[in-house]
Structure formats: C-alpha cells, structure tokens
Amino acid sequence: MMDQKSPILVLGVGNPLLTDDGVGIHAIAALEKAYSFNPPVEIMDGGVQGLNLLGFIAEAKHLIVIDAVRNGGAPGTLYRLAGGQIPRRVLQKNSLHQVGLLEALALASVLGDPPSTVILGVEPLDIASIGLEPTLPVRERIPELVDAVLAELKLLGCVPQARGE
C-alpha cells in the first residue's frame, strides 16, 4: 500500500495469452523481479484495458509504456517513441470496443495535462497465436527492453537497485 502516488508510471500493455502481444507484460514482470526503485515508481500491468487506463494515465506525470509495436522492422527490433513520434491516433482502426491506449492518451490531453510519454516497443513476430511465451526473437530482447526502461527511469532521477544485492 502506497499512500504517496509516484509521479512515474511504468505501464506494460498487451495480452499475455497471445504470444508476442504479451511482451510488455513479460517485460514489467522481469523488471519488478530484478529491481526495486528509490523513490518508488508505479509499475502496472495494464493488460488490454485501453480506455479504462485513462485514470492511471491522467494521474501520472511521466509515463513509460511497454508494448508490441508494429513498425515493419525485423521481429525483435526495439523502438523508442517519444513526443511527436507517438501517433496521434491509430491509423489502421478496426477496434470498436477497445478504444485503445493511444485514444486514452489523446483524451488525457483533452481533459488536462497529459503525462510526458515514452513508448518502448518491440517488433512482434506473432500476435495471433495463443501462447504464454513470446517467440524467440522477441523473448531474447526482453533483457534489453528492461535496460531501456532503467535508462528512462534514470533520466527521471530514479535510482534502480538490483534486488538481492
């Protein structure tokens, strides 16, 4: 139980039952297992909640999103998107119900001050098959993805401590 909400939210999103789509969830699990932070940060498994995450997003000052990102690169390619590189809306829309994360970000800006946002992504190979683990090219990049999150947190003045040291 934290009384003081951290201004930093690390948000893993995706569906851990759908192979590479779960990479964001697997990455935050690895992050939480290996490190603690001072001051503490909010680490959240956002699943595929889309718009329902708006509350958590709106409360944060700094947002780090970890997700599978389709950008046409080789599977396992890592991406960092910030500021103007974050698409203002989803171009290839076929989601009715899951008004997605990008919409939630857009709406956060209508409501008031949206958090400064960085998206750390991995190019997926397979996001359609049912599977509890990412494919090999994606799985083997998870440690680097965790390092990328640590780098972002350091920029925000947060010191990671390896657990068990």
Q: Which residues of this protein are in contact with other proteins, per CB under 8 A?
A: 14-18, 21, 45-56, 58-59, 67-71, 79, 81, 84-85, 87-103, 106-107, 109-111, 119, 121, 127-128, 130, 132
- The answer to whether residues 24 and 14 touch, using CB atoms and an 8 Å cutoff, is yes
Residue closer to other proteins (CB basis): 50 or 160: 50
Residue 59 in tokens: 């409360």
H or E segment to which residue 33 belongs: helix 23-34
Rounded to a whole number of angstroms, the minimum distance from the CB of residue 20 to other proteins is 9
**CA proximity to 14, closest of 122, 148, 92:** 122
Rounded to a whole number of angstroms, the minimum distance from the CB of residue 100 to other proteins is 5
Rounded to a whole number of angstroms, the minimum distance from the CB of residue 23 to other proteins is 11
